[in-house]
Chains A and B, each alone.
Chain A
């Protein structure tokens, strides 16, 4: 009797591993076939390179103020971009993106800003996914009053507009980058918890789960080794898209002065600080705005691509 039931279970798990590698292969393949996701990935690759090598590429320290303000250059604050290759006078100091209100090199600040933005995106989403996954999995697996309790709390969190809730959290904790990250992380937990719960609900009724259970696997094994890996797919898509909105939320908080504190070069706070110079020094608003847009765009394109690539229904349609 044991012999009979054990064999199909083993077969099943073998089939599962071979299928999952092929799923990833298909996913990669499909991802690279889509133009939009390739664009997204190239932008992201560029950003990641920039962020990793910022300290070698950046011509100045991002917090060094009063650059070239003294004679002989007498550089004014918020000077326009000066690129020697494009015909800017040689005796002028080169600032590819000009200087900001404190006569700091805008280009260097933008580079370090990339580092910060990516860190914000990844860390908040990792935090939210971690907590959200655990909560969603527990709710979905155990059901009953645990499910009710967790999901009602999540509903309460979802009932607030996310940015308002983040502002409220930051107000309580005090402004600062870490607190802003925490706030954004907290407000994005419910989305992941819901997605996770839904996948766990569908996966836990599948045969291989029943098989593991009948083999005597304990709750921990079933939940985290058996169900979780198979319920992760929608979470990956949600997470990629979530990075984009986390970066946007962090920029919004910083714009309002609640996120990164000066002199930290954060794109949102750079945008906020120079918002009144939109007509007199448009480059100071244009570059950070463009950078935020590109970053968010890249994550959205990749997220969309991943969603389509991971959707089994669409796999059949096009292949």
Chain B
């Protein structure tokens, strides 16, 4: 009797375990049936019918004229204006190609946010929100991968915890070693430190006309150009970099790092001069300073390794040099970015930018061009026009005068103060096979590294927001997408040079307005469907065309498209 009871009990426990397990697995496995049904539809076509999305004219203000699938393996882009940086742009993670059927079946959102289908070395296995993201090797991958069969992404905002996990061996690589921990990692024979080149910028931004409802901009001291210039002169940036940045960082002379062509042409940034700054502030009508806020997010990025300490130093400097009282307001990361994009941040804000591709359009164009957000308030015509002209020229020498003019105009208007190009580092276990690297673009690839076991664990700063990267801007999301989805072109591992990925080759006409890409034959998506030109047209046109029913994504902002290619087609009137 007693035995019967215990058997019954253990059966009950077992049953509850099984139930719990099934309950947990259901949401992640749900997309699978939809994905396997898709190929049936694509394998049948008799005659290939290429799609084309076209704008009737170029008056809508954006860069694209049309995207056309010429034949099954050829895609042609027609642009309204010449764009020499087009290959660099189209290689970016946000413009990755997913199966058109899959995009349509999800309505451009839903499962797409959790489970992208790509052509890359990995596919999503499971994503336990708040815990870990697990990838498994993509059996249909067309390229060579030496990576472990299972790739796990974990995250922790605390650099001390990341280092501890690496030291204890539970993870194989960590992002952003804490600035004080560089020596620890270098001194540990079991670890290796890989420095990431400083292809980024940390800046202190101002909004000259916040869009917050009810905000009275006439009493806003920061709407005054002289006040912004005074603050620019009144901050000792050298002191910040010397004390709070790791080795390999430098004071920013311009917004764009010098390693980028035409990055630092034009006058250098203001030298620190507290007396002149005070005089200028008095001239602007604020001899006794004023009170304002400093917004930032408490997250560590390569450009800002110790946000709280830097914020407090800024607070101390502005108080001492200009008698400006800064109230520090730390915001949640997502809310901060959203408020910044919407132009709602008042006062000062600290933010930074890491290169997505090595071109001025990614730095100046994205932030201060005509298509830029309202982060810095109203745009300045002299900046936008110089950037527009510069972006259309093919050769660096021809572009130089325009970027010189843009940099000088930025120096005059001070939409932000460039502070530092921050050095950062990735740490791995010692003795990994392959190429454990740190990418200057922050998009480390894990299919080129192997730790000798079937699982490789990577720990980064934060959890991806979603895995539909056309609608994400955070590097932590983009890195995860990089493992799964691919674009027509890509960047070399650990570098910035553009190389063919899903397109084997491409050519442009003489005035750089027509770009033809020849796709790689025989490529299959991880769900088994085959890759063709229509997938390219659909993947990109749903970003371009605001009226497309699939133009939904996670938030619907598609910031990278508008930042790099200007206004959306059929954009709703503002």
Contact = CB atoms under 8 A, between A and B. Distances in A.
A30 interface: no
A101 B316 contact: no
Interface in B197-246: 239, 243-244
A285 B315 CA distance: 23
A245 interface: no
A277 B308 CA distance: 13
Interface stretch (A210-218, A256-264, A288-296): A256-264
A262 B328 contact: yes
A65 B321 CA distance: 13
B316 A280 contact: no
B246 to A, nearest CB: 12
Q: Which of B164, B239, B313 has the most CB of A within 10 A?
A: B313
A279 B160 contact: yes
Contact of B243 (A77, A275, A276): A77
B520 interface: no
B181 A280 contact: yes
Nearest to A103: B243
B419 to A, nearest CB: 16
A263 B309 contact: no
Contact of B306 (A63, A101, A103, A257): A101
B158 A276 contact: yes
A280 B330 contact: no
B180 A78 contact: yes
A275 B309 CA distance: 12
Contact of A65 (B158, B306, B313): B313
Contact of A276 (B160, B327, B329): B160
Interface in B436-473: none
A175 interface: yes
B312 interface: yes
Contacts of A38: none
A279 B309 contact: no
A277 B160 contact: yes
Contacts of A76: 243
Contact of A262 (B158, B163, B178, B311): B311
A262 B311 CA distance: 9
A262 B315 contact: yes
B180 A63 contact: no
B158 A275 contact: yes
B184 interface: yes
B298 interface: yes
A281 B180 contact: yes
B159 A63 contact: no
Interface string A96-117: 0000011100000000000000
Contacts of B298: 257
Interface in A167-201: 175
A102 B312 contact: yes
Interface string B481-508: 0000000000000000000000000000
Contacts of B163: 279
Interface in A212-266: 257, 261-263
A103 B163 CA distance: 24
A150 interface: no
A69 interface: yes
B328 A261 contact: yes
Contacts of A78: 180
A279 B313 contact: no
B413 to A, nearest CB: 30
Interface string B167-185: 0000000000010110010
A39 interface: no
A71 to B, nearest CB: 12
A102 B309 contact: yes
Given A262-B308, A262-B328, A273-B309, A77 B244 contact: yes
Nearest to A280: B180
Given A277-B160, A281-B180, A257 B309 contact: no
Contacts of A263: 312, 315-316
A101 B309 contact: yes
B158 A280 contact: no
Range for the number of chain B residues in contact with chain A = 20 to 34
Nearest to B239: A66
Nearest to B294: A262
A48 interface: no
A118 B313 CA distance: 27
Nearest to A69: B243
A278 interface: yes
Nearest to A281: B180
Q: Which of A175, A257, A263, A276 has the most CB of B within 10 A?
A: A276
Contact of B327 (A66, A103, A261): A261
A37 to B, nearest CB: 38
A281 B308 CA distance: 16
Nearest to A64: B316
Nearest to B330: A257
Contacts of A69: 239, 243
A65 B329 contact: no
Nearest to A276: B160
A103 B242 CA distance: 12
B283 to A, nearest CB: 28
Contacts of A273: 308-309
Interface in B306-325: 306, 308-309, 311-313, 315-316
B332 to A, nearest CB: 10
Nearest to B244: A77
B253 to A, nearest CB: 23
A277 B158 CA distance: 10
Contacts of B239: 66, 69
Contacts of B312: 65, 101-102, 262-263
Contacts of A281: 180
A278 B180 CA distance: 11
A303 B160 CA distance: 37
Given A69-B243, A261-B328, A273-B309, A102 B180 contact: no
Contacts of B180: 78, 277, 280-281
B167 to A, nearest CB: 9
A272 B457 CA distance: 28
Given A102-B316, A278-B160, A77 B309 contact: yes
Given A102-B313, A103-B243, A263-B315, A175 B329 contact: yes
A274 to B, nearest CB: 9
Interface of B: 158-160, 163-164, 178, 180-181, 184, 239, 243-244, 298, 306, 308-309, 311-313, 315-316, 327-330
22 contacts: A63-B316, A65-B313, A65-B316, A77-B243, A78-B180, A101-B244, A101-B306, A101-B309, A102-B309, A102-B316, A103-B243, A175-B329, A257-B330, A262-B311, A262-B328, A273-B308, A273-B309, A275-B160, A277-B160, A277-B180, A279-B164, A279-B181
Given A257-B298, A279-B160, A279-B164, 11 more contacts: A66-B243, A66-B316, A76-B243, A77-B309, A102-B316, A261-B328, A262-B312, A275-B160, A277-B178, A278-B160, A280-B178
**10 tightest A-B CB contacts, nearest first:** A101-B309, A280-B180, A276-B160, A65-B316, A262-B312, A276-B159, A257-B330, A102-B312, A262-B328, A273-B308
